């Protein structure tokens, strides 16, 4: 019997979901220092299993700055473009802040006509070829790449194969980022000794790629893990009829927040990671260093702070009893009774309330505060960080939080979501089944995907729009066929539009009728910027297409395979989630627990178990 196995590796825990024809089960195991070892040991693998993976390999490589030594070949006079960038300041009023250093050092940036090109690139592990007008003449860039690969005898990457769009800085920066990550990502994926029939990895766009293609497109895996949760939250929100939902994934190391409209993640192409440009299709996740393992500390001004430093899996929060001594958010929740003392985290990790209190007391001595006051303060601080993240994807983008639903998951999501919803006037919180491993569930619901894009600047009214859109859609279809050996289930187009003369674009759904293009553009422009310019000519800058297949599972199939609940079981205000049947109601204050997560209801919170096992939390 073929099983679907989704494995999402986080900074603290690795989430595993296994689905066969009858059941879906999920569990957590601690993330090991060598992640490949932990993944291989997490499951009793079978040859006919399908392995779907969400990985932090690319993100960790970037954050730890342990990527490849790069070389760059570009047009003469543009060797310093990747260092000059756009000359925008990361923080306008901070005189000490600076941008990250270029991924390729000055001595390894070479003009294409340099007579000593070969010798100057001798120390580069991977070379990127990025010509200023490579997006217009990709064949020229590819030809030079092929020639240099022969002359240098090492990997050479054409920037146009990573991102074929215009804007020379963003194009080169993205290609360099992908090359920088390639050896680490390829090494990690290649080291996964999992003897299965099919291996697919999640991309930042919420789609699946074969492992070998993931290694060749490392920049597309930077948000591999968070994208799984977004896919699952989109499916859950759509199944309950919510037009706009906010996915809220709070794990051990970080919190990921994303807005989802009309049941679909808003995949875009312009985002930064660790301050670096990464112009590839990605879900618009906002990540902050706020998780269960985030540590409390005191800044030079004597104020209590939380994160972004995390205790991780080893040594972990103090209450794990694994050697950690710093007070963390998990210790604070345990101290305040939000997590029952007798809960074995992930089914095997007992929590020590005494160690949590000692860690909080040590921090409190320096603040002249009791352990309980420190715990309460830590939760207020971390909640404020997460509230700001939710505002960033709603209010700051023209969306009213009062018209959304908050989908809370991750090991700690349910502990904080009801308070955040109350603070932002979000009317309801949805806590899905398998909430502690929900990102891994998303891997099972992600479609195989291939993207194509091309810069084609067309003035409003250009009659070639339909033909050019068809051309890009054909390219996406061909790529899908090459990747997966069969045709896609659906091909969808997209356009980047702007008012003529603007320096930025807005991404909209594809259309071949200019009236529809203008309507879609102005609706998006008004939502993002608060105004439109009626009658001002518009233009299309980039044409996009996405070819996608059917996902392995739908949300209806996942919920149908969930274990049936038993009789409701409650002890001292603590309910076992696996015993709560559809229609059951709980009034706060109360705690609902399962092996992989917990939900905290405050006074005035009302919980209703929906037909698919989702917990719906409302106020009053």
Tens digit of each residue's pLDDT (9 = 90 or more) over 486-522 = 999 999 999 999 999 888 899 998 888 999 999 999 9
Is residue 536 located within the same domain as residue 610? no
| Dihedral sign of CA atoms 202, 207, 213, 218 in order | negative
pLDDT class for 549, splitting at 50, 70, 90?
Answer: very high
Spatial contact of 70 and 125, defined as CB atoms under 8 Å apart: yes
Per-residue pLDDT at 347 = 54
Is residue 523 located within the same domain as residue 578? no
Q: What is the mean pLDDT of residues 2-27?
A: 90
Query: Is the predicted pLDDT of residue 252 greater than 90, yes or no?
Result: no
**Spatial distance between the Cα atoms of 130 and 157, rounded to a whole number of angstroms:** 9
The structure tokens listed for 20 are 């066969």
Helix (H, G, I), strand (E, B) or coil at 312: coil
End-to-end Cα, the chain, rounded Å: 47
Instruction: Note the helical H segments in 196-318.
Output: 211-216, 224-239
Per-residue pLDDT at 294 = 93
**Spatial distance between the Cα atoms of 385 and 416, rounded to a whole number of angstroms:** 12
Assigned domain for 378 exists: no
Query: Is the predicted pLDDT of residue 345 greater than 70, yes or no?
Result: no
**Number of domains the chain contains:** 3
Is residue 80 located within the same domain as residue 148? yes
Per-residue pLDDT at 56 = 86
CATH of the domain at 498: 3.30.1490
Assigned domain for 90 exists: yes
Domain boundary at 515, 548, 581, which? Answer: 548
CA angle 379, 383, 386 (to 5 degrees): 145
Is residue 506 located within the same domain as residue 583? no
Domain boundary at 185, 205, 221, which? Answer: 185
Domain that residue 584 falls in = 570-619
Per-residue pLDDT at 346 = 53
pLDDT class for 344, splitting at 50, 70, 90?
Answer: low
The structure tokens listed for 496 are 């980047």
Helix axis angle for 224-239 and 57-64, nearest 10°, is 130
Domain boundary at 159, 185, 211, which? Answer: 185
Per-residue pLDDT at 348 = 61
DSSP-assigned states of every residue in 217-234: TGGGGTTHHHHHHHHHHH
Per-residue pLDDT at 274 = 77
pTM for the structure as a whole? 0.91
Assigned domain for 575 exists: yes
Per-residue pLDDT at 69 = 96
Q: What is the mean pLDDT of residues 104-118?
A: 92
Per-residue pLDDT at 322 = 87
Assigned domain for 356 exists: no
pLDDT class for 602, splitting at 50, 70, 90?
Answer: very high
Query: Is the predicted pLDDT of residue 229 greater than 90, yes or no?
Result: yes
Per-residue pLDDT at 1 = 64
Per-residue pLDDT at 500 = 93
pLDDT class for 398, splitting at 50, 70, 90?
Answer: confident
Per-residue pLDDT at 597 = 87
| Percent of the chain scoring above 70 in pLDDT | 99
Range in 225-229, 349-353, 606-610 the model is least confident about: 349-353
pLDDT class for 566, splitting at 50, 70, 90?
Answer: confident
Range in 136-145, 147-156, 269-278, 596-605 the model is least confident about: 269-278
Instruction: Note the helical H segments in 156-258.
Output: 168-191, 211-216, 224-239
pLDDT class for 195, splitting at 50, 70, 90?
Answer: confident
Per-residue pLDDT at 234 = 95
Assigned domain for 518 exists: yes
pLDDT class for 62, splitting at 50, 70, 90?
Answer: confident
**Spatial distance between the Cα atoms of 250 and 225, rounded to a whole number of angstroms:** 12
For the chain, the average pLDDT equals 91
Is residue 499 located within the same domain as residue 580? no
Assigned domain for 194 exists: no
Is residue 517 located within the same domain as residue 575? no
Spatial contact of 288 and 391, defined as CB atoms under 8 Å apart: no
Per-residue pLDDT at 197 = 82
Element (H, E) at 442: helix 438-444
């Amino acid at each position: 019997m073929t099983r679907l196995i989704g494995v999402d590796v986080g900074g603290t825990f690795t989430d595993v979901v296994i689905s066969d024809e009858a059941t879906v089960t999920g569990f957590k195991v601690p993330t090991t220092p060598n992640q490949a070892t932990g993944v291989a040991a997490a499951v009793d693998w079978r040859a006919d299993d399908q392995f779907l993976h969400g990985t932090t390999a690319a993100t960790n490589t970037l954050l730890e700055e342990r990527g490849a030594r790069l070389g760059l070949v570009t047009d003469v006079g543009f060797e310093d473009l990747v260092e000059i960038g756009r000359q925008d300041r990361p923080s306008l009023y901070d005189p000490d802040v600076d941008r990250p250093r270029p991924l390729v050092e000055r001595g390894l940036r070479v003009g294409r006509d340099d007579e000593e090109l070969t010798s100057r690139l001798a120390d580069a592990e991977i070379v990127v070829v990025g010509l200023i007008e490579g997006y217009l003449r990709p064949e020229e860039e590819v030809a030079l790449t092929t020639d240099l690969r022969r002359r240098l005898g090492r990997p050479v990457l054409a920037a146009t194969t990573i991102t074929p769009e215009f804007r020379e800085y963003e194009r080169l920066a993205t290609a360099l980022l992908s090359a920088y990550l390639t050896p680490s990502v390829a090494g990690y994926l290649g080291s996964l000794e999992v003897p299965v029939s099919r291996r697919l990895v999640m991309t930042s766009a919420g789609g699946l790629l074969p492992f070998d293609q993931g290694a060749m497109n490392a920049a597309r895996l930077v948000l591999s893990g968070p994208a799984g949760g977004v896919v699952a939250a989109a499916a859950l929100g759509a199944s309950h009829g919510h037009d706009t939902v906010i996915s809220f994934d709070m794990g051990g190391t970080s919190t990921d927040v994303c807005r989802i409209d009309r049941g679909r993640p808003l995949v875009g192409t312009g985002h930064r990671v660790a301050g670096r440009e990464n112009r590839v299709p990605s879900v618009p996740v906002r990540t902050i260093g706020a998780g269960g393992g985030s540590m409390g500390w005191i800044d030079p001004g004597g104020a209590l702070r939380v994160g972004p430093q995390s205790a991780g899996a080893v040594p972990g929060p103090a209450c794990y009893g694994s050697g950690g001594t710093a007070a963390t958010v998990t210790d604070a929740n345990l101290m305040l009774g939000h997590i029952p003392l007798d809960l074995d985290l992930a089914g095997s990790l007992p929590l020590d309330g005494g160690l949590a209190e000692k860690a909080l007391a040590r921090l409190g001595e320096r603040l002249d505060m009791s352990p309980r006051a420190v715990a309460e303060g830590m939760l207020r601080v971390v909640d404020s960080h997460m509230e700001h993240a939710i505002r960033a994807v709603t209010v700051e983008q023209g969306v009213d939080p009062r018209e959304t639903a908050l989908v809370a998951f991750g090991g700690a999501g349910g502990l904080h979501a009801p308070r955040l919803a109350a603070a932002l006037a979000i009317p309801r919180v949805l806590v899905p089944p398998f909430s502690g491993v929900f990102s891994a569930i998303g891997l099972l619901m992600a479609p195989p995907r291939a993207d194509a894009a091309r810069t084609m600047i067309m003035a409003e009214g250009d009659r070639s729009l339909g033909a050019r859109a068809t051309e890009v859609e054909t390219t996406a279809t061909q790529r899908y066929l090459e990747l997966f050996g069969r045709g896609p289930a659906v091909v969808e187009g997209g356009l980047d539009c702007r008012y003529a003369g603007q320096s930025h674009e807005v991404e909209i759904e594809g259309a071949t009728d200019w009236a529809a293009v203008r309507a879609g553009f102005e609706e998006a422009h008004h939502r993002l910027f608060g105004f439109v310019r009626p009658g001002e000519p518009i233009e299309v800058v980039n044409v996009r297409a996405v070819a996608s297949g059917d996902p392995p599972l739908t949300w209806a199939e996942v919920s149908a395979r969930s274990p049936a609940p038993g009789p409701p079981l409650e002890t001292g205000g603590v309910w076992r989630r696996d015993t709560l049947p559809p229609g059951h109601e709980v009034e706060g204050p109360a705690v609902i627990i399962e092996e992989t997560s917990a939900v905290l209801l405050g006074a005035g919170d009302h919980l209703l178990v929906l037909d698919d096992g989702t917990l719906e939390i409302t106020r009053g």
